Amino acid sequence: MVGGNGFIGAHLVQRLVAAGWQVTILHKYEQPRYSQRPAVVQFLRGDLTQETQLAEAVAGQDVVFHLLWTTTAIHEVANRDPAADVQANLLPTVRLIEACLAAGVGRLVFTSSGGTVYGRTQTIPIAENHPHNPVNAYGVSKLAVEKYLHMFRHLRGLDYAVLRPSVPYGPGQHPLSKQGAVAVFLYRVAHRLPLTIWGNGDVSRDYFYIADLVDALLLAAEVQLGEARVFNIGGAEEVTLNRLVQLAEAVTGETAVVQYQLARNFDAPRVVLDTSLAQTQLGWQPQVPMQEGLAKTWEWIKQLRTLL
């Protein structure tokens, strides 16, 4: 697993170990930020630019999960220097694909982006065959990886699956980050810190709980796939930023201080994914209602107060 100590990876590792999988992690950080890596997991310190560690990480693996992206946290970083984004993310991912093919890996599961590869959407909900016109460098690179996966399947028979998640949230998501609206909003509202909203607050997403994403990743690794290889993964409810503020106030019992700034031209106004393909082909659908997921996330954040 590449990126197994990140927010998504740490949850996935715990589930895999509980299910009896033998797990190897390739990551530059030895431990997840908010949990301990299970002792049975093999850890390799490194990243996709280090060929020796990469070859060792994929050797003998039935499934490789690619969860690592250096500009995931702040999309503006990719926009400021698209060439550096290609160098740091796209090129190493192509090397990973080649290493998986050389090692005879059973399947490569890649986490793309359901919020950026489509760009300015024409229809809601967004199906996988919606036109792909990303308006930020992060989305362009993610989409390019999808195209390389398709190419390598055509040329060399690569077995792969792509998940396009909307916005996952939950315990383990850094509440002091610039990304991850749910954790950030809960923390800042609870501590009476100002929230910055870009635009008028009508930007909407179909947020979904981290356990639902882990379910989708496991299914993408195990289900027999046909022609369909790319699947939207999102929540069952469209929530605007203004509504998210209200939900954070209700959960924390505090009143939010909101600062509105000019909208950013690289933010998609609405991201609501059509997940019917994942339901029919993977047998997946979101299980955790938004308010339940918020309550679980808030309970976790309260436990962290002395650590932040």
User: Which residues lie closer than 8 Å to 38 by C-beta, 6 or more apart?
Assistant: 13, 14, 17, 23
Per the prediction, the chain carries an average pLDDT of: 93
Q: 49 lies in a domain?
A: yes
Q: In the prediction, which pLDDT does 297 show?
A: 96
Q: 64 lies in a domain?
A: yes
Q: What is the mean pLDDT of each run of 10 residues along the chain (308 residues)?
A: 95 97 94 92 93 94 95 67 92 97 98 93 93 93 98 98 97 86 94 93 96 98 97 96 97 95 87 97 97 95 70
Q: In the prediction, which pLDDT does 291 show?
A: 93
Number of separate domains in the chain: 1
Q: 279 lies in a domain?
A: no
Q: 283 lies in a domain?
A: no
Q: In the prediction, which pLDDT does 71 show?
A: 64
CA distance 204 to 209: 16
Q: 288 lies in a domain?
A: no
User: For the whole model, what pTM was predicted?
Assistant: 0.94
Q: 160 lies in a domain?
A: yes
Q: 113 lies in a domain?
A: yes
209 in active site: no
CA distance 136 to 139: 6
Q: Say which CATH number the domain at 158 has.
A: 3.40.50.720
Contact between residue 97 and residue 146 where contact means Cβ atoms under 8 Å apart: no
What residues make up the domain containing 17? 7-173+207-235
Q: 307 lies in a domain?
A: no
Look up residue 181 and give its two tokens: 């609206």
Rg (CA), the chain: 19
Q: Measured in Å, how far apart are the chain's first and last C-alpha atoms?
A: 28
Contact between residue 139 and residue 117 where contact means Cβ atoms under 8 Å apart: yes
Q: In the prediction, which pLDDT does 76 show?
A: 67
From 118, 138, 187, 207, active-site residue = 138
Contact between residue 248 and residue 183 where contact means Cβ atoms under 8 Å apart: no
